[in-house]
Amino acid sequence: MNIAAPIGQAANPVVSVGVVVSVRGAVVDVRFVDKLLPPINTALVVEWDRTEPLVLEVHSHVDPVTVRGIALQATGGLARGTQVQATMAPISVPVGEGVLGRLLDVVGTIRDRGPALPSDTPRRGIHNSPPALEDETSATEVFETGIKVIDLLAPLAQGGKAAMFGGAGVGKTVLVMELIHAMVEKYKGISVFAGVGERSREGHELLTDMQGSGVLARTVLVYGQMNEPPGARWRVPLTALTIAEYFRDQKHQNVLLLMDNVFRFVQAGSELSSLLGRLPSRVGYQPTLATEVALLQERIASVAGAAVTAIQAVYVPADDFTDPAVTAISSHMDSIIMLSRTLAASGFYPAIDPLASSSVLLDPLVVGEEHYRIAERAREALARFKDLQDIIALLGVEELGASDRLIVKRARRLQRFLSQPFVVTEAFTGTPGRSVSRADTLAGCKAILDGAADEWAESSLYMIGNLDEARQKEAAAIKKEPSS
């Protein structure tokens, strides 16, 4: 069969042929009578009677004649005795200019119903080593997002890794989509989006949204969705990363890598681990959790002349931030953005917890002395306000001392100022999205902390852009008030 060629191209033309001996969901055992076993992490192509090829990836050698493979497509209808062709090479996916503006699956097949890729499109194996440590560059340049609370308290690094942690329904996907809008227009680089285990509806909406906004031409979409087998969800981040690495290494272009959702990658590994019969680790996760996360995250690296900036959404099961998967992922991040269900329920969007979020870039040597000082003052005010909330709920704000009342007044205004409307929610809220420069964010926070907005209504600072907009809103509200 020639369908093996686009998936795994072997340098050695000799291939081995085997037969399926057992199928357990996504785990398939294949026996090779000629005893020429394919290496680990190489592709096998099942020669069955379906129109879509079934690709397996060799996971382990069971005995001298049998390998255990992970299926990357559904195995429904696969029978024992079906022939399997070993390619002796890893799964390879199309890379380069030809995939820009296209939607691919885990094995590089075009899924947007568009024309086929040119025959000369380069291909690259999905298993690659990270750059040598001496070739990597450190991330010290701030990646401005236009989102006030991120730029102030958890600045992202150009060429760094950032993760957004949150439970179900607190706004992770909306935040990722807003960052795509803000960054693709501002930074004229390449964007690679990996949809890992998310809903098919969200994938369709993102594709339609990108087509409408005109940013799809510089973006590659790679999907392994919730309705696909765990093998696809487990390997799709590697496919997206392979495309990003090509633009970094061969084209020397900056790449923005977005993943939604990395927890589904871990979850798929856990499902496969159970099917493979491994003993579970903490909380039922796979015993290889830390290794699998590290193999993915260590490949996200920048080299001289080309940066890969990664922004990843991470689902937090049951809002438990001590979950082993969450802690394993967070240990690799430069910036950690925590989303709060309490803030979301109170109507503060983006629902980013300013006290739990952090960044290695929030250092006076990186962001500057003024930014660091304003961020620390903001954090202090919000922390004190949080400490006083129980007293306020029991006794009322009038029972506080004068200094604490002033802190509460300013913290409440600062909390509202750090909210802002998004472009991607404009269709639902009717409010145009706002992007705020870091200078305007710092100026607004400093003015609020210095008392410039003490006499303003709190509503004037809610869901706005910069402080000038709040000033206009306050003036309009005063004008509407009936004269006494």
Which among 172, 233, 264, 299 is annotated as catalytic?
A: 172
The question of whether 148 is a catalytic residue gets the answer no
The question of whether 413 is a catalytic residue gets the answer no
CB environment 36-74: b (16+ within 10 A), e (fewer): ebbeebbbbbbebeeeebbbbbbbeeeeebbbbbbbbbb
418 with 434: CB under 8 angstroms?
no
Dihedral angle, C-alpha 137, 140, 145, 146, nearest 10 ° = -160
φ, ψ of residue 29 in degrees (nearest 5): -95, 135
Which among 50, 80, 186, 199 is annotated as catalytic?
A: 199
CB environment 92-123: b (16+ within 10 A), e (fewer): bbbbbeebbbbbbbbbbbbeeeeeebeeebeb
CA 396 to chain centre: 41
Which among 178, 198, 228, 292 is annotated as catalytic?
A: 198
φ, ψ of residue 56 in degrees (nearest 5): -115, 150
The question of whether 186 is a catalytic residue gets the answer no
Would you name the residues annotated as active-site residues? 172, 198-199
